[in-house]
Chains A and B, each alone.
Chain A
C-alpha cells in the first residue's frame, strides 16, 4: 500500500547573488528506506526571473561523501507548474527513472548572478515494493 505525505509545505527560499559553490539544502535528509519506489511531486508556486536549479539527491548513508544526484537533470520549474520524479531502488546509475537509496534530500544550486527566490511545495508517494 502506498504512503502519501507532504515533504515540504509551501515555503519561499531566496538569496542574494552568490556563486554556484554554495548549495542551499531546503529539507533535511528524509529516510525513505521503507520504500522501494517513490514519486516526488514538486510544485512551484512562483519564482524569480533568475532562479536557480532544483536538484534531488540520494544517499545510502547520511555522509557527505555518499550523496549523488537522483536524476541526471536539474529542474527549472515554471511558476504554477509541477514536476513528477520517479525514483526506483532497482536503478543504480543516474538516468530516468532516478536512483533511490536510503535517504533523499532537496537542494537548490544557486548558480545565479542576481537575487533569486523560489516558492516550492513537495509531496511524496512511497511504495513498499521495489520496482
Chain B
C-alpha cells in the first residue's frame, strides 16, 4: 500500500553566494521499493533544485539522483526505483539540494512524496 508524505512544506530561500543549500528534511525510503516525488516550484531565479540519495547518513555517501534537475516553475514529477542502480537511482535516504547558478538566486518550493512498498 502506498504512503503519502508531505516531505517539504512550502519554503523560500534566497542567497548571494554560489553555495549549495542542503535540506534538513531527510526522508527514509527503506519501507519503499519505488517512490513518486512531486516538486512544486512557485518561484525560481538562478537556481536548480536537485535530489540526493544515500544508503546511510554519511556525508561522503550522498550523490545526486541522476537526471533530476528542476529549474522552472510549475509541477515536476519524478519516479524513483530501488531496482535502478544508475539513472533515477533510489537508495535508503533522500534529501533535496539547491544549486545556485549565479551569486544572486532565489527559490520557493514544496515537495510531496508517494512511496510504494513493491519494487519495480
A contact residues vs B (CB 8 Å cutoff): 33-36, 60-61, 65-66, 68, 89-93, 99, 101-102, 128-131
Contacts and interface: CB of A to CB of B under 8 A. Distances in A.
Interface residues of B, number: 21
B77 A130 contact: no
A102 B112 contact: yes
Contacts, number: 63
Given A68-B75, A129-B118, A130-B118, A89 B112 contact: no
Nearest to B4: A33
Nearest to B6: A61
B92 interface: no
Nearest to A101: B38
Interface of B: 1-4, 6, 33-34, 36, 38, 40, 42, 75, 77-79, 112, 114, 116-118, 120
A33 B113 CA distance: 10
